Amino acid sequence: MNSYYDTDDGGEYTDLENFTRKYRAIVADSKEFRCQEPITATYAARYKGTDPYMDDSAIAGKLVPMLAIHMRSESFLGLLAMNKEMNTYHRRLEDARQKLNEISREEKAREKNPAAKLAYEQYKLLMCLTQ
**Angle separating helix axes 73-112 and 15-23, nearest 10 degrees:** 120
Q: pTM value?
A: 0.53
Q: Over the stretch 25-72, which tens digit does the pLDDT of each residue have?
A: 988 888 777 666 666 666 555 555 555 555 555 555 567 778 888 999
Specify the DSSP class assigned to residue 11: -
Q: Over the stretch 60-119, which tens digit does the pLDDT of each residue have?
A: 556 777 888 899 999 999 999 999 999 999 999 999 999 999 999 999 988 999 898 899
Which pLDDT belongs to residue 19? 87
Which pLDDT belongs to residue 103? 93
